[in-house]
């Protein structure tokens, strides 16, 4: 049976990171917020076992875990999305890795997040990302968005956009709604709506207003162009 995220249900999390101090720090942070951490583990296989056992609303996963400390966490996250598409997955990474964000977005399911570990210290923003991904939203770290947008192979597409449209696209790719973009950039809602429409027109993308779907479409286009 496919799980469906329910924002009214208690927020339950399975946490995976091989760095014990960081893992326990994140656990404490989540529990202080009233979030129930059902399991806290240090490798991908244990993560998969605990997710299958507990069926949490969210898995928070480090990209690099034993035994090779390369992409075990990412592979576990992708497997979770395949086997339990209703469970949100928030992946944490030490460095910007465009391919990791692209692989996650290619799963085409709700509840996806990719953040740099530095964002954990921005407590309010990190907790907001936890809740948004658990509720089926998409959250991509601003640094990853900028890397995707400004990679050399993307310059042709991005040069079609005005500086304002690039700002709107970056915010949109982070998962913000039109209203959220307006508040961040101190713009009117109508101005943002026009900019979003222009972005889709110039990048030849369908103007789907579903936040997660439009983020996936934009980033996939930029990554494959």
Strand partners, 114: 91, 140
Confidence class of residue 180 from pLDDT cuts 50, 70 and 90? confident
- Least confidently predicted of 11-20, 105-114, 124-133, 161-170: 105-114
Q: What is the pLDDT of residue 222?
A: 52
150-170 pLDDT per residue, tens: 655 555 566 778 889 888 887
CA separation for the pair 180, 186 (Å, rounded): 10
Between residues 155 and 50, which one has the greater pLDDT?
Answer: 50
C-alpha 105/C-alpha 138 separation (Å) is 9
Predicted confidence (pLDDT) at residue 224 exceeds the cutoff of 70: no
Q: 62 or 220, which is more confident? A: 62
Which of 51-65, 104-118, 128-142 has the largest mean confidence? 51-65
Q: What are the structural domains, with CATH classification, of the chain?
A: 12-140 (3.40.50.2300), 145-224 (3.40.50.2300)
Task: State the average pLDDT over residues 24-30.
Answer: 95
Q: Which long-range contacts (CB under 8 A, 24 or more apart) does 93-100 make?
A: 93/62, 93/63, 93/64, 93/117, 94/63, 94/64, 96/141, 96/143, 96/144, 96/147, 97/63, 97/144, 98/144, 98/147, 98/148, 98/151, 98/223, 100/63, 100/71, 100/74
CB 182 within 8 A of CB 189: yes
What is the C-alpha to C-alpha distance for residues 12 and 207, in angstroms, rounded to an integer?
34
What number is the average pLDDT over the span 194-218? 65
The mean predicted confidence, pLDDT, of the chain is 81
Residue 106, burial from CB neighbour count under 10 angstroms (0-12, 13-18, 19+): middle
How far is CA 91 from its chain centroid?
Answer: 7
Instruction: Please list the alpha-helical segments (H only) found in the chain.
Output: 20-32, 44-54, 72-83, 98-105, 123-134, 142-150, 155-158, 163-173, 178-185, 189-202, 211-224
pLDDT category at 148 given cuts 50, 70, 90 is: low
Residue 27's pLDDT is what?
Answer: 95
Q: Tell me what the mean pLDDT of segment 75-89 comes to.
A: 92
| Cβ-count burial 62-83 (b if 16+ within 10 Å, e if not) | bbbbeeeeebbbbbbbbebbee
Tell me what pLDDT residue 33 has.
93
Mean pLDDT of 128-143: 87
Range 98-120 average pLDDT = 77
């Amino acid at each position: 049976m496919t799980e469906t995220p329910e924002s009214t249900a208690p927020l339950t999390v399975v946490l995976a990171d091989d760095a014990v101090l960081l893992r326990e720090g994140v656990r404490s942070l989540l529990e202080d917020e009233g979030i129930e951490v059902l399991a806290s583990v240090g490798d991908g296989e244990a993560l998969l076992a605990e997710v299958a056992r507990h069926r949490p609303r969210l898995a928070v996963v480090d990209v690099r875990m034993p035994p090779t400390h390369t992409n075990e966490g990412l592979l576990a996250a992708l497997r979770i999305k395949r086997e339990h598409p209703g469970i949100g997955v928030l992946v944490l990474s030490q460095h910007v890795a465009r391919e990791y964000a692209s692989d996650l977005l290619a799963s085409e399911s709700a509840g996806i997040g990719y953040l740099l570990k530095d964002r954990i210290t921005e407590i309010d923003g990190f907790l907001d990302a936890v809740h948004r991904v658990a509720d089926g939203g998409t959250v991509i770290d601003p640094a990853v968005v900028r890397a995707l947008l400004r990679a050399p192979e993307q310059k042709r597409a991005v040069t079609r956009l005005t500086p304002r449209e690039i700002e709107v696209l970056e915010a949109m790719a982070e998962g913000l709604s039109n209203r959220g973009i307006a508040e961040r950039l101190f713009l009117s809602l109508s101005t943002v709506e026009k900019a979003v429409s222009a972005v889709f027109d110039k990048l030849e993308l369908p103007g789907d207003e579903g936040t997660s779907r439009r983020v996936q479409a934009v980033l996939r286009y930029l990554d494959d162009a």
